[in-house]
Structure 1
Amino acid sequence: MDNKNIRRAFKLMASLMELHDENAFKIRGYQNAVAALERVDAPMAGMTEKELESYEGVGKSIAAKIVELNQTGSFSDLNKLLEVTPAGVVEMLNIKGFGPKKIRAIWKELGIENTADLLQACENDQIAKLKGFGAKTQETLKNALLYSQESKGKLLWAEAEIPAEDLKKILQETLQTDNVEITGEFRRKLEIINLLQLVIATENPVRTQEKINEISALQQDEKLSGPFAWRGTVAETGLKVEMKLVSEADFVNEVFKNSAADMHLSLPYNGSETLYNLLKKVTFKSEAEVYEKAGLQFIYPELREGLGELELAAENKLPKLLEDTDLKGILHNHSTYSDGANTLEQMAVFCKEQGYQYLGMCDHSKSAFYANGLQEGRVVQQQKEIDKLNEQLSPFKIFKGIESDILNDGSLDYEEDILKTFDFVVASVHSTLNMTCEKATQRLITAIQNPYTTMLGHPTGRLLLRREGYPIDHQAVIDACAENGVIIEINANPWRLDLDWRWVSYALEKGVMLSINPDAHSTTGYADMRYGVLMGRKGGLSAEMTFNAKSREEVEAYFVERKKEKGIL
């Protein structure tokens, strides 16, 4: 098992123990084990008990259970709790914002054992009558359940990446052809994948379908399939799959057609002609030939949305898109000072070893008590440690930052005497997520207008496939950032990817710089940077407009100059 699944098993164990009202001390032990395992970067699969025990916080009991997990896929104590817990109740533990204690109350007091009955109970006003719930909690729960229903069978791009590439490889090996290409939403780098589409070149579609049906990971839907289209699902995830079977000669055209949004294909690129019509007239040998024939600059698949890219390509004005290698540093990260899994030093050393020039440390502010937010004294303590580490790690630089909670009225956490000690401030909303669009927008604008706000963090607070973001007027928020010189982050955590890529072009048009931030809570979180880059590219982001593509010296000068401009220095 990979490290993520091992940690997930122990998180489930802790939740189940809390659900069954077991010993609080033992529950805390499993929660501490999860925190310890977050700090293990090396693959735990195949490690011996002794090797596992060498990690701080991993005792003999936990090490033994990890070995058992690797050997059997579970461990006995977890199995015992799963045996006495209805599967539907286990599923209910995944409802965002509702912990084991609330799920226990629903299960034990109302006898509800699945999400379908839970939704019906919300409709019948039963949940609101439970002690500790109320009408507001019931409505929140109902909305979470409806959102979860809509999300079934869908995957984040990051979740779909490995299964999609694995399926492509299996198909190539099974069909003994290289002409298998992933297209559709995945190739266009959409943040959520509703349907995994592939194009396969074959001269014998009947035999090809027979061979596809031999792949155990797939389940065909015969009613939806046809002679030239296999449709079904990936058995493990329920993700819908569509494979189009075409001749070798038509392979490139079909790949191109299925790698672009309808608007990209149907909008005229020269006043009258469309790419869709061009594909009907000419058989191409490469996608580059399509654009060359149309007299257009080559357009990468992630830009093929029909959102102005054709006009730019006609004038040879498409930007040079941001690359992973353009990024010089990582801003917005958390350490064990708040809710991170790795120490400040570990975060910094690992960042330096990855070849970056600087790290922005942004632990949670004091209002985020649930995340061990920093009281004023601990801010001073952390900044002293940063000064010491900067001497040791020079020329690598740790910038003193904070993820300051935006309070309900739009003000920032901390008084000015603390705020002025930071090199930069990322302002983010973490509480009261149910405001109206007008109030939520004004809340953000008030924070943006604060002279201490350097950067706006995850503007809508969304968690893809888990929780909708709070509604905001994106245009008004971006305009305020432009007026106040505030950077907007593209939060690279694959559950967030917020700012949404659909607003990147407007931000760039207004001259607002964007920063690709992983919001990393461990050293492994740095790997999420690539997802932020993908979303930036999808919105047309270049290195020139990416804040953390600046060098260490440029970033340091920017922070100092900004504070001078705002009268802080």
Structure 2
Amino acid sequence: MTNSEIVDLLELTGRLMELHEYDTFKTRTFSSAAFNLDKSTADLANLPVEELIKLPGVGKSIAQKIREIAETGRLTDLDELLAKTPAGVLDMFRIKGLGVKKIGTLWRELGITDLAALQTACETGEVAKIKGFGKATQDKILVALEFLQEQKGKLRMDKAAMLAGLLHDELKPHFGRVDISGQVRRKAQEVDTVQLLLQTADPVSAMLTLNSLPNLAQHEADSSPFAWRGQREGFDVRVELLLLPPEQMDRQLFIQTAADAHLQQVGAGGIALLQAAYVSTDTSETAIYGRAGLPYIVPEMREDDFAFRWASRHRTDELVTWDDLRGTLHNHSTWSDGKQSVADMAAYARELGLSYFGIADHSQTASYASGLDAERVRAQQAEIDALNAGFGDSFRIFKGIESDILSDGSLDYDPETLATFDYVVASVHQTLTMSLEKATSRLLRAIENPYTTILGHPTGRLLLAREGYPIDHRAIIDACAEHGVTIEINASPYRLDIDWRWIDYCMEQGVMLSINPDAHNLAGLLDMHYGVAVGRKGGLTKNMTFNALTLSEMNIFLQKRRKRIHDNS
């Protein structure tokens, strides 16, 4: 059992205890333990009770529960709660902004036990009549339900890649060649079909082999003699396995990777790209583009005609790569809600070959994330000075902060405190329900603040979980251009925000983009791979990537910016 799996079980137990109106103290014991252990780096599954009780929020009772989870993979308390909770009520936990108490009220007062019944109750106005709800809450629930319905059967980029890799490894022993294709190869940020190509000269035997594998469940009505369609156990997403003879593998890898809108483009050869793929005797991808009279496009960009417009102004080798990144600027530590110390995070950044690490812990208003007040800012910066003294000239920790953008658009500290940072990432975390006008004006004021260096996750979206607040992207990007503010590509696969479709406009306006992992632990630094993928999808070049600047270039940039602020103050 991983730490996250243990924490999830404890958290769910606490929430269900609250739902069933158990003793408040006992409920809080589970919730508090889950909250504290979420930040722990200890190997919970392998610690004895006497070591577990030394951890914050863990008493003897919770320690014994953790041992039960580690040894059996289950928790008796949770099993008993689940047995008396309708599965549809659990689904209601997925609705953003709908707390446990309100879910309990809906269940007990209206008898709602699934999402369909909840939608009907909202549409008929029954929810609005309940004390403590009202029409505004009812409308928000309807919007959330619509969003959940749209996201059903989809996976985020990271989960889809994991599933594709799992399938690849399970199928490789049975087939001469297995290729990951489709949306996963194209680096789609949300995936509704995980597709692989399987090389076989005998599709009948191949189909029998697939149906003999224990983790695959075929949807016979959706399948055909040359296409197995169904699901892989444990994943709520469509799986498509295409059975192809050896001579068709390269051609179909190209065709299946590209979106239809991309394949319909006609080049100087006078034929569409799809037709070129079928008539080209050389089935390599470069040859297919050449046959159509079109420039070669990398797999990530094969969405529509944008890639060809981009190619008229750029070369493929200009696209940013992982190796181009020289540092990372949006990261958290144990000073706020991260799981590792500044020293450990910086050390891992060095292991990855980076030459600078920027810490941007949460600011004081983010009390839920242990945000830093001015006194703790000074203490953290003293620690960073001591660490930097041991690095020499080859590596540096930059002093940053992720400052909350307050409801009026101001930043979270006074100018004197803001002036102590090397840079500021300005982000919205609270009061997310806003009109386009309110959200845009809030961000514009933050961008106009001379201390804002990077605009963090501009829409606040959480992919497949929460739709971002609406903003006027052009107005925001234009303002960033005017004030010299960089825009973040938040590389967490939960966010991938700013959306890749706005990257080209950013570059046109001269706005640099920073591929920031928003890392809360060591592994989180690797999320920059996802940021690179969506950066390339949007045509991001190395020379417009902020954290592709060398250490020397970054030092000069930040020093000039601080001097300009000082001179204008």
Fold match by TM threshold 0.5: yes
**Partners of 1:333 and 1:521 within 8 A in 2:** yes
Q: What letter is aligned with 2:79?
A: N
Distance 1:52 1:348 in 2: 28
Which residue matches 1:5? 5
| Corresponding residue SS for 2:241 | strand
The percent identity for this pair of structures is: 48
Give the TM-score normalised by the residue count of structure 1.
0.91
Specify the alignment match of 1:555 in structure 2: 554
| Secondary structure, counterpart of 1:258 in structure 2 | helix
> What does residue range 53-72 of structure 1 map to in structure 2 within 5 Å?
53=52, 56-57=55-56, 61-72=61-72
CA distance in 2, matches of 1:493, 1:507: 20
Q: What is the aligned-residue RMSD (CA, Å)? A: 2.6
Residue in 2 aligned with 1:203?
201
Q: 1:294 to 1:275 in 2, by over 3 A?
A: same
Alpha carbons of structure 1 residues 55 and 344: separation in structure 2 relative to 1, 3 Å: farther
The Cα of 1:494 is off from its aligned counterpart by 0.8
Question: How many Å separate the matches in 1 of 2:62 and 2:563?
Answer: 52
Count of matched residue positions in the alignment of Structure 1 and Structure 2:
566
1:315-326 matches, cutoff 5 A: 317-326=315-324
- Unaligned 5+ segments in structure 1 are none
SS at match of 1:223: helix
Supply the AA of the counterpart residue of 2:400: G
Measure the CA separation in 1 of the matches of 2:278 and 2:345.
54
2-side partners of 1:560 and 1:314: how far apart? 36
Shift of 1:320: 3.0
- In 2, distance between residues paired with 1:81 and 1:465? 27
Aligned to 1:328: 326
**Bigger CA drift: 371-380 or 508-517?**
371-380
- Indicate how the Cα distance of structure 1 residues 290 and 61 shifts in structure 2: closer, same or farther if over 3 A, else same: farther
- Using the TM superposition, name which of 86-95 and 496-505 deviates more: 86-95
Q: Per the alignment, do residues 388 and 21 of structure 1 end up closer, same or farther by CA in structure 2, a change over 3 Å counting?
A: farther
Q: Is the 8 A contact 1:252 1:284 kept in 2?
A: no
Partner secondary structure for residue 516 of structure 1: strand
* Secondary structure in 2 matching 1:359: strand
Give the 5 Å matches for 1:56-135.
56-57=55-56, 61-135=61-135
Deviations 1:93-132 (A, max 9, x none): 2322223222222223333222222222222223223333
Distance in 1 separating the partners of 2:53 and 2:90: 32
- 1:39, distance to aligned residue in structure 2 (A): 4.4
The question of whether the paired residues in 2 share the 8 Å contact of 1:427 and 1:453 is answered with: yes
Aligned partners of 2:33, 2:523: CA distance in 1, in Å? 17
Matched, 1:473 2:472: yes
1:100-179 to structure 2, matched below 5 A, reads 100-174=100-174, 176-178=175-177
Q: Given that residues 38 and 522 in structure 1 are in contact (C-alpha distance below 8 angstroms), is that contact kept between their aligned partners in structure 2? A: no
One-letter code aligned to 1:196: V
* Normalised TM-score (structure 2): 0.91
Matched, 1:391 2:389: yes
Q: How does 1:280-295 map to 2 (within 5 A)?
A: 280-294=278-292
Report what 2:16 is aligned to.
16
| Partner SS, residue 94 of structure 2 | coil
Tell me the CA shift for residue 302 of structure 1.
0.5
- SS of the residue corresponding to residue 334 of structure 1 reads coil
Report the alpha carbon displacement of residue 241 of structure 1 after superposing the two structures with TM: 1.9
The residue number in structure 2 matching 1:458 is 457
How far apart, in 2, do the equivalents of 1:51 and 1:438 lie?
A: 55
Q: Whole-Å Cα distance in 2 between the matches of residues 52 and 206 of structure 1?
A: 56
Distance 2:94 2:557 in 1: 42
Q: Deviations over 1:248-277 (max 9, x none)?
A: 222211111111112221112226232212
Change over 3 Å in CA distance of 1:527–1:105 after alignment to 2: farther
CA drift of 1:185 comes to 0.9
Q: Secondary structure at the match of 1:125?
A: coil
Q: How does 1:367-378 map to 2 (within 5 A)?
A: 367-378=365-376
The answer to whether 1:504 aligns with 2:503 is yes
Structure 1 pair 38–479 and aligned structure 2 pair: CA distance change class (3 A): same
Structure 2 distance, partners of 1:199, 1:43, is 39
Once structures 1 and 2 are overlaid, which stretch shifts more, 337-346 or 276-285? 337-346
Letter of the structure 1 residue corresponding to residue 92 of structure 2: M
The alpha carbon displacement at 1:464 in A equals: 0.6
Mapped partners of 1:67, 1:162: distance in 2: 29
CA distance in 2, matches of 1:401, 1:450: 16
Q: Distance in 1 between matches of 2:312 and 2:410?
A: 46
CA distance in 1, matches of 2:522, 2:323: 18
Given that residues 269 and 293 in structure 2 are in contact (C-alpha distance below 8 angstroms), is that contact kept between their aligned partners in structure 1?
Answer: no
Q: Which residue of 2 aligns with 1:535?
A: 534
Amino acid at match of 2:277: L
Counterpart among 201, 210, 213 of residue 211 in structure 2: 213
Q: Which amino acid aligns with 1:304?
A: R
Instruction: Report how far residue 465 of structure 1 moved.
Output: 0.5
Q: Which residue of 1 aligns with 2:448?
A: 449
2:187 is the counterpart of 1:189:
yes
Q: CA deviation at 1:296?
A: 5.1
Change (3 A) 1:116 1:181: same
For 1:28-67, what aligned pairs fall within 5 Å after superposition?
A: 28-41=28-41, 47=46, 49=48, 53=52, 56-57=55-56, 61-67=61-67
Which amino acid is the alignment partner of residue 267 of structure 1? Q
Give the CA deviation at 1:36. 4.6
CA drift of 1:188 comes to 0.2
